[in-house]
Structure 1
């Protein structure tokens, strides 16, 4: 499978819908259209020519552990060297530590490209960027001066060490211990599992961010602290020095992302330094967790795009049967399968989910940028609330969409999709983890309901609905969109009423929180994508009315929007009916009666 970044659609999203140039002016980072487009084009070349060719071998060769050292698949080390040398690693880092300070609205496009080209390769750098956020925001001046420039540049990588065998989602069960030393450092002891990039041969040092408990820590999540624990303790001149007492005990044998080292990490009185305040580790970790969850959402988007590209290429080439309306290619023994309605249904589902998710990714990235860098405190606060509402939706819905798109890709290929050589089954295996790590999608749904909707009595949800309702009215200028506009008004009204119902039912019975969460998140995401597709249709209509010299592109946008509204958005109704079924039917059966 060959991957080519969807540059035309990315430019449509960035320039025509979200005015990235104006956004950059507001943030004061000086990026103009020529620079932005140049970066996108070079990113597309880099991911197609350097990263995508690693994907197949990375899956087949995997990582190896020998004498305590992990080796990455052939080609990864050289590609990572180019990744760092060309400045891609420092794209989002703070300028005062050597970063380029690109906004998320810009970098999200490049990160999507990386995810689509080789998810395994991207995993090594993804958490490094999250570690930069945590150290920059919560680290002491000593830690910033010692580590930030190295991890911002990508010269060293970073990890997140949360999970233990008995403590996954429930970090209250965490057992790793931290003992204070007289010099202000700590000794960290414990074992962590599922650590992405816990060891590798790409960089000379790795900076682990580790959750652990101090001796006098209170029980539960209120007694967790965050520590920086390097693989090698830096010397005074900033080079890797003494090897710390930590090691990779094993590599996990996984369903997918085989080119990414997923490690069991053992800390045996390893030297570490506190990040932030004692017993405030969870708050510090969530600085990077929200970024990591957004990045995992982009993983789902990248997989969806790669699956669509593979399915489309195959559907254009594979000859099988004749079109129902008569031969389309009479000179050939059969027609290409793209003529068949069911194949088109699958392709259009992939296309509208991936392009719709790209719209929501850009909207969310814009909120993240405003939260971090806008000069107006009220704007930062408002954007932070909006981003918090959207992050669980992005993580859960995008990764579900990625798995669905990959599954549809296998279906489009038929039996060949089940065979390794075509590459589609790898996408399906790789994508499965995205629904699990950084908080399972069920946990994202609970977060959406409990911490985002119920916490403020749905005030931010209503604000989002109101904003989308205002955007829907812009469609009035285009009579051809009247049907879609009327349907959008109806859906937004329904969503508002459903939100009221959900809040009331959850307040009456806490079991309803778990009963409605997954379906309400999915319902919400489908409606948000529908409204964003309507905005895309408005922009396409405006371009056509202005006599664009790309009429085929904009006409296709209108047709894709129409498909989404007719054939994908109706799924929301099923989620609505399901959540209205309530908790009683879930909880009524005695546990013993589940047996057969």
Structure 2
């Protein structure tokens, strides 16, 4: 696959649309100047274009395999991972106390986007480790932080997240894995976990598993769950990987896509582990990692959308087929192909804006000097997280599907690579809580945490953009964005008025999508105003005419209630 990192577009979105340059004005991120950020992104682009992208097809054709109890990865992955680790890319946002760079999460998100565009299967490995680093920084005992985090930051060791069991998927509280205290501060962990990304491999010297399990006498449900760190190889007195722990992969999932990423069934057979956080605090600790991963997975969807868009546009500019209305020599001149390419570009830009804005808010929640400002950004970031995850992954799926369509019959032929994008990205809408769960989180916990204040604050930001667009000569954009903003306000008021959560949940997916499209139009309008470029204005007008009206319709669907969903008995839904 040929991939060109869109560094200029990424910087424009971060700086001109979202305003991430404000981070350099804080004490915490004072060194993250525009010049430093540009230099880092340029180096990351070289790695992604020259090392990772050539492996994307290899990962699909030569999957990871389980041999004699050890997972062997795609040829070339180990060397590429070594270059990721040695370049310091795993620990970009980690604390300097543990060897990290201490850079903004928003910059790490941009690098992660490039890596996922270039080779999604391999990029999952450092992404999981980054989430584990954050969880250990917040919840682990000092000795664990001192021993494990520097090795995770350096990439010598990698991290995983072990939640799902055959009977306990989204219902995490149904898990059966047991943890028994040994009396020496360690615990014996016994159980089976499934769908464990990079649960075993041969690209690093040790693997650190975060495992949810239940202590003796713990209450049922999520309140009885604790979190444990279980290494593949137990460190010796010098901190080096020592004896093998009683944890092993017993199978690899045969997946629709992401063949280069080993997804393991893991057996814990009295494995030695250590408690992370308090007893019964497993879900709170794991959610630190999961929230990091939710934004990360949304970025994966965005990344595949970018890569699929590049491939489709290149194909459209070389494929000759029929006469075109504008006399172009290739299919890029056909109106319907142009419609698809415009939609791909606009929706990718929308998803990028949501993800970058979310990351910026989470950074400001840590870096702002004023406590009230930190709280405001924390609430803003929390509200944007499920939108970034769900819309980013939906965008990856939809744009990859359009990419196949642009290729025509050749899109269905594996050699072109267009189909791989669709297969690889499909699971992202399921990862880290399905997109339906993200939507229910948005209308439930995220609206409830502040009575809708974060939502109303964002609506006010969009209203300001409406005024600016009207004054800036983008009247049709202002009109469409204003209608979407008003519709979102009505839907938000309706959601907050519902005391029956089933009523909210029935329209949750529509509500989230409405927000994403409205925010996307807001970002495109800001980009057009900031640049003054005719192309950006054209993209904003395209979205205003063809995408923002969807937000108004989705507002009505969000307020439809639950009655129609339950009008047919469940047993009759199959026809």
Same-fold call, TM > 0.5?
yes
Deviation at 1:427, TM superposition (A): 0.1
Does 1:195 pair with 2:183?
no
Counterparts of 2:29 and 2:571 in 1: how far apart (Å)? 62
Taking the TM superposition and a 5 Å limit, the aligned residue runs for 1:268-417 are 268-325=269-326, 327-328=327-328, 335-417=329-411
Deviates more, 1:468-477 or 1:392-401: 468-477
Deviation at 1:361, TM superposition (A): 1.5
Deviation at 1:487, TM superposition (A): 2.9
**Per-residue CA distance 1:195-216 (angstroms, 9 max, x = gap):** 0010000111001000000002
SS of the residue 2:45 aligns to: helix
Deviation at 1:90, TM superposition (A): 1.9
What is the aligned partner in structure 2 of residue 65 from structure 1? 66
User: Contact 2:354 / 2:387 at 8 angstroms: preserved in 1?
Assistant: no
Task: Name the count of aligned residue pairs.
Answer: 574
Does 1:262 pair with 2:263?
yes
Q: Which one of the candidate residues 458, 465, 472 is aligned to 1:464? A: 458
What is the aligned partner in structure 1 of residue 476 from structure 2? 483
User: Which structure 1 residue ranges, 5 or more long, are not aligned?
Assistant: 329-334, 542-553
Deviation at 1:276, TM superposition (A): 0.6
Q: CA RMSD in A?
A: 1.4
Counterparts of 1:412 and 1:471 in 2: how far apart (Å)? 33
**Per-residue CA distance 1:382-406 (angstroms, 9 max, x = gap):** 1111111111111111111110000
Does 1:441 pair with 2:435?
yes
SS of the residue 2:190 aligns to: strand
Counterparts of 1:32 and 1:519 in 2: how far apart (Å)? 39
What is the aligned partner in structure 2 of residue 220 from structure 1? 221
Deviation at 1:476, TM superposition (A): 4.5
Taking the TM superposition and a 5 Å limit, the aligned residue runs for 1:117-196 are 117-196=118-197
Deviation at 1:464, TM superposition (A): 1.4
**Per-residue CA distance 1:554-574 (angstroms, 9 max, x = gap):** 221111111111112222233
**Per-residue CA distance 1:331-377 (angstroms, 9 max, x = gap):** xxxx2000011001000110001112112221111111012233332
**Per-residue CA distance 1:495-552 (angstroms, 9 max, x = gap):** 1112112232x32x432122111111111111111111111111022xxxxxxxxxxx
SS of the residue 1:317 aligns to: coil
User: Contact 2:134 / 2:288 at 8 angstroms: preserved in 1?
Assistant: yes
Deviation at 1:122, TM superposition (A): 0.4
Q: Which one of the candidate residues 506, 525, 536 is aligned to 2:516? A: 525
Deviation at 1:17, TM superposition (A): 3.0
Does 1:581 pair with 2:574?
no
What is the aligned partner in structure 2 of residue 513 from structure 1? 504
**Per-residue CA distance 1:417-470 (angstroms, 9 max, x = gap):** 001110000000001000111001111111111111244432221121122223
What is the aligned partner in structure 1 of residue 5 from structure 2? 5
Counterparts of 1:514 and 1:399 in 2: how far apart (Å)? 20
Counterparts of 1:454 and 1:90 in 2: how far apart (Å)? 34
User: Contact 1:297 / 1:395 at 8 angstroms: preserved in 2?
Assistant: yes
Counterparts of 2:79 and 2:428 in 1: how far apart (Å)? 26
Counterparts of 1:564 and 1:488 in 2: how far apart (Å)? 9
Deviates more, 1:529-538 or 1:396-405: 529-538
Does 1:239 pair with 2:230?
no
TM-score, structure 1 length as denominator?
0.94
What is the aligned partner in structure 2 of residue 498 from structure 1? 491
Structure 1 242/224 Cα, relative in aligned 2: closer, same or farther at 3 Å? same
